[in-house]
Amino acid sequence: MHCLQRQPELSRSEELKRHVYNEKVIQMNAKLLGMEGDGDLNFLLQGGDLLKVRSQSWKKTRYYKLQEDCKTIWHESKKTFWRKHTFSLDDISTVRLGRQSEGLKKNTEEQVEGRCFSIMFKGRRKNLDLIASSEEEARQWVNSLEKLLTSINNLSRQQKAEHWIYSCLRKADKNKDDKLSESELKDFLHLINVEVDDDYATELFTKCDKSKSGYLSGEEIEHFYELLTHREEIHVIYGEYAKTKGHMSPENLVEFLMKEQREKATLADAHSIIEKFEPDENAKRIKLLSKDGFIMYLHHPETMVLNPDHRDVYQDMSQPLSHYFISSSHNTYLMEDQLKGPSSTQAYIRALLKGCRCVELDCWDGSDDEPVIYHGYTLTSQILFKDVIKVIKEYAFKTSDYPVILSLENHCSVEQQEVMAKHMSTILGSALVTSPLGEGMPSGFPSPEELRGKFLIKGKRLNKLEAMFAPEAAAADDTDVTEEDESDEEEEEEEEKRETKKKLKMAKSLSDMVIYCKSVHFHGFEDARKNLSFYEMSSFKEGKAMALAEESANAYIRHNVEKLSRIYPAGSRTDSSNYSPVPLWNAGCQIVALNFQTNCSDMDVNQGKFMVNGKSGYILKPPYMRDVNTEFDPITLIRGEWLQHKTLHVMVISAQQLPKVNKKKSSIVDPLVRVEVLGVPADAAQKETNAVENNGFNPSWNENFQFDVYVPDLALVRFTVEDHDSTSDNEFIGQYTLPVNSAKMGYRHVPLLNKNGDLLPSAGLFVHIMLLDAK
């Protein structure tokens, strides 16, 4: 065991010097964040004592404060070997005032409600439950953290990169003297994920050490930074168009935009770009764009790979509900696996904040006449139904204001069903749809636009919707219905299936809340066409749905023009793994439910599909998937309007600031890039670059790929960056998926998302994309 060594105490002059250094760091970061002299930032930098809550018996005071980088929270730990502990603000999902988390509700009393707050993290990290000394202090923590998070999120990619590099420089400056020795420079190179041999590091150091002092300071560090961040690929592109005194004139810029970026551009557009992005006032005055201005322009979100017009709602939202793909979650309450994992309201928050529009609630009888939600007959923990409804009400429309479907799997007694109905009615209020929109019996679905801010219930109903308008037909159906057991994936004979179905008595109050999404059994497309009303929908296990999508794709597409279909993962997926949603979207299925709690490539593709159209959670199907007489079949691809044969050209040029996969100081990534097209079977293809050894900071490939795309309306393109390993599986670094028709052409930066689907702050790819008519 290593002995723990105390840090040597600093002399008074050294302490003063360190204080001045830290203040300088704070000022620089505050300026970058646009929060100079901000009271909320100063509050966090000063920090304070908070009571950390883990259980009823474990409540301990800990000191929390924001570090000088204005991005990391430090808190003391009493553990012997932990001198300090930190977490990044990038890892925070949301901050909630009050006893909102399961932990605080369970482990604290109501009288401390106003003093409580929770920091909710992205991914599977547990919440941080805290109690402040006063209600005012709790509000101050919450408001200050939310304000700082907003400032960080509003930074441009260029600013985030500068912030990251500056933070690494500060970490490398071990003795905090504002200088870099040669050994500190080598530490810095390791921190930013680039491996260089000692001779090259020495050469780089000597080149920058103009003063011959043996260390770099001031302008020498700036020169080193310039050498390090030089983008040769952009230098070449800029050089081709900088034909006016070594700069780009408005005319040169228009030529670049039209020829390379395939954008319609005018001189007025060019003048606007120079005015907005040119940092040099002299160049701006004479209407020229420098290379620095050009780089800033290429990094702006509006000029990246995703078409900026598709960031907002751009599709027609007035079509019937069945004409849209709908972002949907399965077992939404689970944080992990479905055998023993925890259930949590936080799982609903995460799904809703990601734009999910259909969430699942598995409802069972609980104690004290309060229904609970969990995965029945398993060891998963239980949460109160009413708490879930409250959270859904609070977070449903933060990312999207289009309708949310509550998919009920109901196992409750009539008494507790009545409690469910009461909770939904009182908590959701007028936002809950309890009767058809408009006058009289509807003949089809309303649109997402008509249902903005509304909740729909999907579940069993005792009778037909028509009974609401013809009272004499109200008793036509029985007072009980059969409830599908979605955990049962065994193949059985039809007779056995009938025997295993449970008869479930239904509360009329709950039944009457089911308006547009009545659950019924599927008995074939012909039966559905003849006997089912538009609002009667079926749920399909993934195996059954995949078979129909492969063997009867056209019939499935026609069925899904007028009716909704929900697909859910096989019960055998006890680890909450996922299936590919692509074949089911190809068959027109709207509610393709995935385990949002599981990080995987299928969830990445789902996120990419629904990233456009304002992250509304609704994507309009192409016209030929909204026509009940369509001939479209994604498997056979007979000729029709859907067949628009294109060639997708992708040049993977370079990457910037890739994070380390292995946090060891000596570990440097060997990145490669895989480009994949997903869509109809004829379009499915993938290709990958060679690996670049020992460089995660600025690797370059300059490799060209071509893909045939026959149905671009349904195609997605996915960029995956991995750390190459010759002896085992490659390790995931980041990815980005988007619809092919939402990709901008030309030279584009591609942001990268981590395994949780969250943005990697400074990392990205630089590519050249063209989608052209095939010859």
- State the distance between the two ends of the chain, measured CA to CA, in whole angstroms: 69
The verdict on whether residue 233 carries a ligand-binding annotation is no
DSSP H or E run through 220? helix 219-229
The verdict on whether residue 111 carries a ligand-binding annotation is no
The verdict on whether residue 601 carries a ligand-binding annotation is no
The verdict on whether residue 56 carries a ligand-binding annotation is yes
The verdict on whether residue 105 carries a ligand-binding annotation is no
The verdict on whether residue 60 carries a ligand-binding annotation is yes
**Rounded Cα gap, residues 580 and 605, in angstroms:** 8
The verdict on whether residue 723 carries a ligand-binding annotation is yes
Please say whether the beta carbons of 65 and 79 come within 8 A: no
The verdict on whether residue 75 carries a ligand-binding annotation is yes
The verdict on whether residue 14 carries a ligand-binding annotation is no
The verdict on whether residue 70 carries a ligand-binding annotation is yes
Among the listed residues 65, 116, 119, the one whose alpha carbon sits nearest the alpha carbon of residue 90: 119
**Rounded Cα gap, residues 295 and 161, in angstroms:** 13
Q: Between vectors from CA 674 to CA 670 and to CA 677, what angle results, nearest 5°?
A: 170
The verdict on whether residue 68 carries a ligand-binding annotation is yes
Cβ count near 329 (within 10 Å): 27
The verdict on whether residue 566 carries a ligand-binding annotation is yes
The verdict on whether residue 730 carries a ligand-binding annotation is no
The verdict on whether residue 670 carries a ligand-binding annotation is yes
DSSP H or E run through 239? helix 232-241
Please say whether the beta carbons of 602 and 627 come within 8 A: no
C-alpha distances in Å from residue 328, one per residue of 21, 404, 534, 590:
50, 10, 20, 9
**Rounded Cα gap, residues 348 and 168, in angstroms:** 36
The verdict on whether residue 63 carries a ligand-binding annotation is yes
Q: Residue 485: what are its φ and ψ, rounded to 5°? A: -100, 100
The verdict on whether residue 77 carries a ligand-binding annotation is yes
Rounded to the nearest 10 degrees, what angle do helices 135-153 and 39-46 cross at? 110
Q: How many CA atoms lie within 13 A of 236 on its CB side?
A: 6
Q: Between vectors from CA 381 to CA 375 and to CA 385, what angle results, nearest 5°?
A: 70
Among the listed residues 414, 311, 401, the one whose alpha carbon sits nearest the alpha carbon of residue 371: 414
Backbone CA torsion sign across 209, 213, 218, 221? positive
**Rounded Cα gap, residues 556 and 588, in angstroms:** 7
**Rounded Cα gap, residues 735 and 756, in angstroms:** 10
**Rounded Cα gap, residues 335 and 488, in angstroms:** 21
The verdict on whether residue 412 carries a ligand-binding annotation is no
The verdict on whether residue 500 carries a ligand-binding annotation is no
The verdict on whether residue 589 carries a ligand-binding annotation is no
Q: Quote the longest CA-to-CA distance of the chain.
A: 98
Q: Which two tokens stand for residue 393?
A: 């009400």
Please say whether the beta carbons of 163 and 35 come within 8 A: no
**Rounded Cα gap, residues 179 and 493, in angstroms:** 77
The verdict on whether residue 364 carries a ligand-binding annotation is no
Please say whether the beta carbons of 457 and 408 come within 8 A: yes
The verdict on whether residue 554 carries a ligand-binding annotation is no
CB-based contacts of 229, cutoff 8 Å, min separation 6: 165, 698
The verdict on whether residue 733 carries a ligand-binding annotation is no
The verdict on whether residue 503 carries a ligand-binding annotation is no
- Provide the annotated active-site residues: 330, 375
Q: Which two tokens stand for residue 134?
A: 């006063």
CA 575, distance to chain mean position in Å, is: 21
Please say whether the beta carbons of 261 and 308 come within 8 A: no
The verdict on whether residue 409 carries a ligand-binding annotation is yes
The verdict on whether residue 90 carries a ligand-binding annotation is no
The verdict on whether residue 276 carries a ligand-binding annotation is no
CB-based contacts of 153, cutoff 8 Å, min separation 6: none
358-364/404-410 β-pairing:
parallel
The verdict on whether residue 59 carries a ligand-binding annotation is yes
The verdict on whether residue 76 carries a ligand-binding annotation is yes
The verdict on whether residue 61 carries a ligand-binding annotation is yes
The verdict on whether residue 590 carries a ligand-binding annotation is no
Q: Residue 474's beta-bridge partner residues?
A: none
The verdict on whether residue 67 carries a ligand-binding annotation is yes
Residues in binding site for substrate: 52-79, 458, 460, 539, 566
Residues in binding site for Ca(2+): 331, 360, 362, 409, 668, 670, 694, 723, 725
Residues in binding site: 52-79, 331, 360, 362, 409, 458, 460, 539, 566, 668, 670, 694, 723, 725
